[in-house]
Amino acid sequence: AAGVIQSPRHLIKEKRETATLKCYPIPRHDTVYWYQQGPGQDPQFLISFYEKMQSDKGSIPDRFSAQQFSDYHSELNMSSLELGDSALYFCASSLEGGGAKNIQYFGAGTRLSVL
């Protein structure tokens, strides 16, 4: 079965650079979620989109922005990167909107290293 696809899998950037992470949800899933997992930490919710509109927002820095496109894929844009942004970024998708009862299926993540 098709899963959530994230690209790239690994990304190395310098401080103050920008990065774009991409997420392709499971076919027919209409909701995407972004999480950040720092080293040795639990995943922290950043933001979610349902039908191309922002659905919920967590602890996402102002330097980050995200959107969901007409084909339901999503991109997380990160600017003015800081060392503390080094983390594993997960995308998840679900069917029929957000809300906790919709099971979130996670991708393998993008590991971002900021040097």
Partner 1 sequence: AQSVTQPDIHITVSEGASLELRCNYSYGATPYLFWYVQSPGQGLQLLLKYFSGDTLVQGIKGFEAEFKRSQSSFNLRKPSVHWSDAAEYFCAVGMNTDKLIFGTGTRLQVFP
- The residue ranges that bind partner 1 (CB under 8 A) are 4, 31, 33, 35, 41-45, 48, 50, 55-56, 58, 90, 92, 98-101, 103-109
| Of 16 and 57, CB closest to partner 1 | 57
| Of 60 and 79, CB closest to partner 1 | 60
4 with 24: CB under 8 angstroms? Answer: yes
Helix (H, G, I), strand (E, B) or coil at 112: strand
> At closest approach, how far in Å is the CB of 100 from partner 1?
3
52 sits in the region (left: phi over 0; alpha: psi -120 to 50; else beta) called: left
Structure tokens at 57: 């927002």
| Of 25 and 109, CB closest to partner 1 | 109
